[in-house]
Structure 1
C-alpha cells in the first residue's frame, strides 16, 4: 500500500500516463501506448500496407510443398493481424508472433477495417497454427531455435530498436542456412515534397525533427536507417532487394492508387499522432501536454490534411536471404 492509501501497481502492470495506457513489462522501454486506440491504429496501418502493396502480404518466398511445414516468425507482431493473415494463408505453416505487449487476441480476431462499412468485421477464430509469445523483448536473447526459420518478418520497428546490427545478426542466426529470408518494412517519416508546396518552416517538418531528436536521445530513433543495405550485408545476408513505395499524406495525387494509399495513410497518421508524439515530447523534452504538445499536434493535423500540400513519405521494403555458408 502506498503512502496515499492507494494500492501499489504490480511491477509489470500497465499504467496510465497523459490519458493513455502504456506497457508495464520493462516499463518505459517502448514509448508508444498499448490501449484500444493504439490497437485500432495498428490495424489501420495493416490495411494501409495492404493497399500500398496491392494486397501483397509478403515478398520473400515461403516454401510450399507437400509434407513441408514452413516456420514464420513475426517480430514485434503488435495486434497479431499480419501473423493471423499469414497463418490463414499458409495452413501448413507454423507461425509465431513476438511482442513486448500482450495486445493480441486470445481466441477471436476482428477483420479489418474499422472505417469501411463494406468490410466484413465479423469475428474469426485465431488459426490453430498460430501462437503468440508475449511479453517478449526482441532485443533480449532469443530462445527460438537457431537455423530453423524460413521467414522472419519485421515491420515498423523504428523507434523501438537500439541496435540494428545486433537485431539483424540475431535474425540471421535464426534463419535456415541457404533458404531463410528476412522481410523488413519501414516508413521513412521524414517529410518530402517535390514542388515546394510544403514550406521549410512547416509544423510538420518541425514535428518530425523534434520526434527524431527526442527518440534519438533515448537511443531508440524513429528515423529510418538509411544504411540498411550495408547493415544487412555486414550481417551476412545476400540477395538483398529493396522496394520503395511513395505514400502521400492525403488524397492529393491524381493517380487512383496513390490517392487510395493517401486516404489510408492519412487515417493512420491522424489517428496515431498522439501515440507517436506524447511520450517522446513529454518525457524527453518535458513539454506540457496541453500547453505545448496538443497545439503542435493540431497544427500538424491541419497540414497533413491539406490537399494543397503535396508532401509524402516513403515505405522501404527489404528482403534478403541467409546463404548456405
Structure 2
C-alpha cells in the first residue's frame, strides 16, 4: 500500500502534519509515531507476526463461535480500535462476511477499496468518553494502543461499556522494556547490546514524559480484572525474536519479520526523541547504535508480547 492508496485530497492538513521530516496525525499529540507509507509497511510486518502468535488466525479465544452462533437476532459487529493500516479489520471482514467490521484510527491511512462489510472511522481514543454506544459490539480488538493513551484503565473501562454481554475483548501490547538473550538487563553495559538498550530507555523516557504508563503491557490482565466485568480471562506472553538467530524454522520466519518491522520502527522514533529535546547528534547516535546491535548482535534481541482476551459477563 502506498500514499496513493490512502489519498485524502490535495489539502491533507485536516488529517496530517509534518514533524521532523515524517508525516503524523493531528488528532492526538500523545501518539508520536508517524502516519506515512513507511509506517504502513511496518504495520504489515507487525500484523503478520501476530498471525503467527495467534496460530495462523487473526484472533485468540472463541471469536468464531461468538460471530457465527446461530439464533442471534442482532447484527453482529466488530470494532478494531487503533486499526493502523486496517489489515486486521479487512481480513476479519473477509472471514466473516455477515459481520460489520469497523476500524478506528487517528489518521486515514487505510485503503479505500475494502470489503462491503468493512468501514473505517477517525477518532481520538485518548479521552474520558468514546463516541460509541453501550453494548454495541460483539468483539473489540485493540493492539499496540497504549503508547497513545494517557489513562489505559479508563480506556479499557470504555471498551467494556461498548462491548455486549458475552462479547470478547482482545488486548495485545508489545513491551517496550529491552530484552536481550531472553533477559531484561538492569544496565546498558550488562545487556551486551548497549546501543539497543540505550535507545529503548530513551524511548520509554519519552513516553513517560508524554503521560504514558510504560508498564501497561505487563499489567493487561490486572487492568481487565479491575473492571469486574469479565470472566474466563486468559493472559498469554510470547517472546518474539528479532533477527536471524533462531534455529527453529518458524521462529526464524518470525524473527525475520520482526527484524524488518524494527528496521522501520527505530528511525520512526526519531521525531519523538527530537521533540523531547534530545540533541539531533545524540538521536542520530542512539538510532545508529541500536541498528548496529540489531544488525550485528552480540546478544540476540527479542521483544515480549502480551496478549489477553476475556469474555464479558
Which bracket does the TM-score occupy, shorter chain normalised? 0.7 to 0.9
Structure 2 regions of 5+ residues with no counterpart?
A: 1-10
SS in 2 for 1:145: coil
SS in 2 for 1:265: helix
How far did residue 145 of structure 1 move? 1.8
CA distance, structure 1, for counterparts of residue 30 and residue 182 of structure 2: 39
Q: Does 1:70 align with 2:76?
A: yes
Q: Is the 8 A contact 2:77 2:100 kept in 1?
A: yes
CA distance, structure 2, for counterparts of residue 203 and residue 314 of structure 1: 19
Paired residue for 1:112?
Answer: none
Paired residue for 1:257?
Answer: 250
Query: CA offsets, 1:16-62, max 9 Å, x none?
Result: 22211112234x23211111111111112111222333312101323
CA distance, structure 1, for counterparts of residue 232 and residue 15 of structure 2: 43
Kindly tell me the number of residue pairs found equivalent between the two proteins.
291
SS in 1 for 2:31: coil
Q: Does 1:175 align with 2:163?
A: yes
Q: Is the 8 A contact 2:171 2:307 kept in 1?
A: yes
How far did residue 271 of structure 1 move? 1.5
Paired residue for 1:309?
Answer: 299
In structure 2, relative to structure 1, the CA distance for the partners of 1:248 and 1:278 (3 Å cut) is same
Superposed, which structure 2 residues align to 1:70-149 within 5 Å? 70-107=76-113, 126-134=114-122, 136-140=123-127, 141-149=129-137
How far did residue 67 of structure 1 move? 6.0
Q: Is the 8 A contact 2:241 2:302 kept in 1?
A: yes
How far did residue 261 of structure 1 move? 1.1
SS in 2 for 1:172: helix
Query: CA offsets, 1:232-268, max 9 Å, x none?
Result: 1111222111121111121212122211111110110
Paired residue for 1:189?
Answer: 176
Structure 1 regions of 5+ residues with no counterpart?
A: 1-8, 108-125
Q: Give the structure with the higher percent helix.
A: 2
Q: Is the 8 A contact 1:139 1:161 kept in 2?
A: yes
SS in 2 for 1:200: helix
In structure 2, relative to structure 1, the CA distance for the partners of 1:257 and 1:189 (3 Å cut) is farther
Paired residue for 1:242?
Answer: 235
1:287 to 272, 278, 285: 278
